Each structure stands twice: as structure tokens, then as C-alpha cells.
Structure 1
């Protein structure tokens, strides 16, 4: 992927760390539901920075800013504008803020940016950034973004998924503390971490996951069907990317332009193998899964 703008929709526990590696190696900075770390986004400059400033501040504010000799104040105002601009796009794309409240983009400036022409077009965002989302739903996304995407094909959207049985097992293990690195800032992760701790064994945890409609990611595959079916979306699976260390093949990995992407140090990583669900599912779990997700297996080609 060589475009200056990219957007990845990676279902939770579907190998998001592999896509992070791929996009980072392709020269992108990461933003959204995952990031490379604070301060690693490219800083807008020149015309791009000026566009950002005009979307955040009014004419009088811009005059004061450009005429100010207080460099510290100017740098602070510029940084707040950039944060507000990215924050406005989080809202437009339906990405909730999950980090510490003190690090959130300035709410007043975000609201003002959204009111001032909805922060422009996606093409106006700084280049070299790959936006990561765990879902992208037409009824929650800014309609202008979807219209522009349909008309121009930009940004290139990549949709990543995985065998939903392995996703379920991975989520259960993750929330049960098997990764040993916490459950992050997702509220539903924290809720179900506590619930799963009441179960006596992994079998009971799987039963909870298969019978609770609010379990994290329970409807993610259904909500992603439009991405799977749309001809302009680039589809890639965990099984394509993981390679031989995760039970896949080198040929399939190379075909997905993702050689050497298996990073077992990634946050939330547990085991990352194809077909691990067979070690955990009992016949009862298979029956429960078939009743609830049989159509999903068919749609995504995992039958």
C-alpha cells in the first residue's frame, strides 16, 4: 500500500499486531485504536498545518497567533489545534477515546472544529498516517467521509479478520489474563475480565462468551459484513498474515505482502496460532457456536 492515506479496520483479536507491523514497515505512522506511541505522528507543516489551523481557529485567533512573539504560547496553540483536528476525525470515524482522560484532545476545540465544516475532507489530513479502527459502521461514520470514499477510493480501506472461533478463544484467554499485560482501556474488557474471573475453568469461560450477547466482539463479524462484501475494500485475514510460526504458510504470507510480521512481543499477544480453537472447544461449545455463528463461518469462508 503506497497511498499517503490508509485506513485499517481490524476486528479485535484478529491479529491487529500483524497489521501494525505491516503498516509501520510500509512507512506509516499509526493513529486511532492503536498507535506507535506518543509523539510519533508526523507533525503537519506548511500548507497542511495552515489548513489544520484554519479548521480549528477563527480569523481573529489566527491573527493573534501569527502576530504573537510568544513562541511557547504559539507552539502550545498549534499542538492543541493538531490534537483537536485529529480528535474531530476520531468523532467522524466513530472512534471513541479510550486513553487517560487527561490525554484526550481538547473537547472545546474538537467541538468547534466539528462545527466549522466538519474538519474538511479526509484528504486534508496529514499524509503518511494509517488510521486503525476495530469497526467502521456506515450509520455511525460521517456521511461526507463515505461519499468522498465512494467517489475517490481514498483512503484505501483494508479489512482484517480471522476465524471467529479462534477470535473467541483469543478474547477469552486475553480477558482471563493469559497475555499477562492487562486488558487495556476498553470498558467492556474490564467488565468481562471480572465476569470471567468467576468461572472455574476455560470451558465455563467459553460458555459465558458463547451465550452472552454483550460479550466483547460478539457481533463484530456481522457488523463487518459490508466491508467483506464491498469490492473496493482490500480484504486480508490473520491466516494470510501469520506465516509458519503461527501455523500458516510462508507462501500465503508472502502473497499478502507481509513477510516477517510475527511479533510475539506485541501487546495483548498470547499464542497466535491458526486453529487453536480445536484445543478448547468441546462438542457442546461447537454446537453453541454453530447455533449462533454458523452463518458467519459461511460468509467469511471458514467452513
Structure 2
């Protein structure tokens, strides 16, 4: 062992002491709430990403030979593990351990009661038809997953989660949990743009893409798009936010918002952005200069970024839309601390 930190590990300096940062992070971020901002922050803190967002190259899961051997020995069927030889056949070793990782991640999606992912690797055949795995894949603690990972999901159901995960979290404080959110009115506007493909993106997530995309693309008038989004009970806003409420006031969850993280480039303030970066970094026990990271968060090349601005609902909502939104979703505004009010 070289003594170098694994991805996601940092050395904190203070009074001569050395401290290890949090090894695993669990992020809940409702769709179109600025998930890419949290992702960029975590990648710059050294974490790799698994879950809903499409990470930049520097954030994709990449495991060392040692990590792959440890994962294979713990989770592969003994005969499958015995057949591996990373020296004699490196290509087969990499392929098999990649498939083992996908099956491990797939199992944890189920154990965490995560809504089905759009992530391309999560729905690939290899995730379900790879090498034979040990039964422990369904019972092992979350701490047995690779270190240095951030697991990012849009919607989780804490009431259906594997109780062993919750017990581990309560008893050890790991993984560190982060909740990211955004003004639900801006989320609705961003969902309309996203499913309308008006941002030029062809990102498929079924069953939503089979319904919302064609419906919204067929409408020319933006007001009618909003009318539809406000009326379809399956529009993924209420479900994401209501499942997040359980974490909103939890003392062992770090809370951050799009409005804080986006900074001046998206209509926020530098002061709020630096404070939010420091809050997340402190939560994960990383000693960093917030300014050195904050400048990198707003990434125009992010896969799902459209406008990335605060308060867009004020430009698009009519008085009727405001009234209808508050009638249906007003409790979300109240719960997450956004003032009710009129559009411009």
C-alpha cells in the first residue's frame, strides 16, 4: 500500500492531527433541482459518482486492481472468484469485476428503495446477467461498498429502505447524507423544458419519456405546457419532494439548495454559494478553500443543464398558474421554505 489517499479521502490539517474524510456519501436531489451542482462539488472533493446524474470523466467509477480484488472476493461466487487472474488475463479480470460492480450497485438500488434509474449502466444487461454473485450482496453492510463513492438519487422511499442500512446509518453516522432541493416552481418549469426537449437533449428515462416527451412536444404554447404539467398527477415533482420531506429536518442530514449553490452565474449570490460549499465540505470533513471549488460548480457542459437560473417561474407563470400551483403544491413551498407569491 502506497499510503496515498483513496478517491474521496482527504487529510485534514489542524493542531498536527490527521483526519480522514467521509468515505461514502448518499445524496437525495429531486429531479431538476440542480443535481449537477452537487455532483460537480463532490467530484471536486474527490468522490466518484453512481446514480442518476451522468458524471464527468473525472467522476466516473474507476477502481484500482486492489479494490477490484477486494470487491470480487467479497461478492463474487467462490468459483467465479477462483477463475479470475488479473495477471494472466487482465482484460477478463476488468470485464468481470466491472460486471460485479454493476450487480452490486443494482442490488443497492433495490435495497435503498430507489426509483428505477435512467443511468445507462444501471439498465444494461450486464447489470442483471453478469457473473454469479454471493448471497451476501443482499445482506452486507453499506460500508462494504467501494470507498470514495457518492450515491446520488432523485427519489428514495425511507419507509421501504432496507432496515439494516438505516440501522447502520443511525449507529455509525455513515454514509453522510445530503439533501439538495430547489424552488418547486422552478423545478416544474425545468421539467417542462426537459421533457419538451427544448434544450436539445435526448435523454431517455422510461416510462416518463414515453409519455411526457411526446405530449409536451406536441404543444406549441408554453402556457398550455404548464397547464398540462400542473394537471398530470404523474408529473415527477410531488413524489420526489414529498419523499424528501422526511429528510428535511433530520439532524444527521446536510441541507443545501440550488439557489445557494448556483452562485452569481445562475442568479444567486457569491456569499451564499461560498457558505453552501463550506457547509457541505465541513459535513464531509474536507478542509478546502470554498472559493477554489465554487468557481467550478456551474458547468455549462453538464449533461442535463438547461438554463440554470433562479426564479424562472416568475417569467413563465400566469396568475392562474400561480393559483393552481399553490393549490396543489403549496405545502411544498411551505415545507421547503419558499415564499408564496405572484409572478411578474
The normalised TM-score by structure 1 is 0.89
Alpha-carbon separation, structure 2, partners of 1:149 and 1:86: 18
- Tell me which of 1, 10, 33 is aligned to 2:29: 10
Over the residues paired in the alignment, what is the CA RMSD in angstroms?
2.6
> Taking structure 1 as reference, are residues 21 and 68 closer, same or farther at Cα in structure 2, changes over 3 Å only?
closer
- Contact kept, 8 Å, 2:180 with 2:257, in 1: the verdict is yes
2:107 corresponding residue in structure 1: 88
The number of residues matched between the two structures is 301
Kindly state the Cα deviation for residue 31 of structure 1 after the two structures are TM-superposed.
0.9
In the alignment, does 2:52 pair up with 1:33?
A: yes
Kindly state the Cα deviation for residue 117 of structure 1 after the two structures are TM-superposed.
5.1
Alpha-carbon separation, structure 1, partners of 2:86 and 2:189: 58
Alpha-carbon separation, structure 2, partners of 1:206 and 1:272: 18
Alpha-carbon separation, structure 2, partners of 1:218 and 1:67: 48
SS of the equivalent of 1:105 reads helix
1:65 corresponding residue in structure 2: 84
Q: How does 1:40-119 map to 2 (within 5 A)?
A: 40-46=60-66, 48-65=67-84, 70-95=89-114, 96-98=116-118, 99=120, 103-109=124-130, 112-113=133-134, 115-116=135-136, 118=138
- Tell me which of 201, 211, 215 is aligned to 1:195: 215
2:300 corresponding residue in structure 1: 264
The normalised TM-score by structure 2 is 0.79
Alpha-carbon separation, structure 1, partners of 2:326 and 2:251: 28
1:142 corresponding residue in structure 2: 162
1:286 corresponding residue in structure 2: 322
- Contact kept, 8 Å, 1:6 with 1:156, in 2: the verdict is yes
Alpha-carbon separation, structure 1, partners of 2:113 and 2:94: 29
Alpha-carbon separation, structure 1, partners of 2:223 and 2:312: 14
> Taking structure 1 as reference, are residues 174 and 57 closer, same or farther at Cα in structure 2, changes over 3 Å only?
closer
Moved more, 257-266 or 97-106: 97-106
SS of the equivalent of 1:65 reads coil
Moved more, 94-103 or 9-18: 94-103
Cα deviation 1:62-85 (Å, max 9, x = unaligned)? 334369955544443333323322
> Taking structure 1 as reference, are residues 286 and 17 closer, same or farther at Cα in structure 2, changes over 3 Å only?
same
Alpha-carbon separation, structure 2, partners of 1:201 and 1:104: 40
- Tell me which of 171, 183, 188 is aligned to 1:168: 188
> Taking structure 1 as reference, are residues 177 and 49 closer, same or farther at Cα in structure 2, changes over 3 Å only?
closer
- Contact kept, 8 Å, 1:88 with 1:119, in 2: the verdict is no
Kindly state the Cα deviation for residue 203 of structure 1 after the two structures are TM-superposed.
0.6
Alpha-carbon separation, structure 1, partners of 2:210 and 2:132: 29
- Contact kept, 8 Å, 1:42 with 1:129, in 2: the verdict is no
Alpha-carbon separation, structure 2, partners of 1:6 and 1:254: 20
2:240 corresponding residue in structure 1: 220
SS of the equivalent of 1:191 reads helix
Consecutive unaligned residues in structure 2, runs of 5 or more: 1-7, 9-20, 278-292, 340-344
Kindly state the Cα deviation for residue 299 of structure 1 after the two structures are TM-superposed.
0.7
Alpha-carbon separation, structure 2, partners of 1:154 and 1:101: 24
Kindly state the Cα deviation for residue 58 of structure 1 after the two structures are TM-superposed.
3.0
Runs of 4 or more above 6 Å deviation: none
Kindly state the Cα deviation for residue 120 of structure 1 after the two structures are TM-superposed.
1.4
SS of the equivalent of 1:7 reads strand
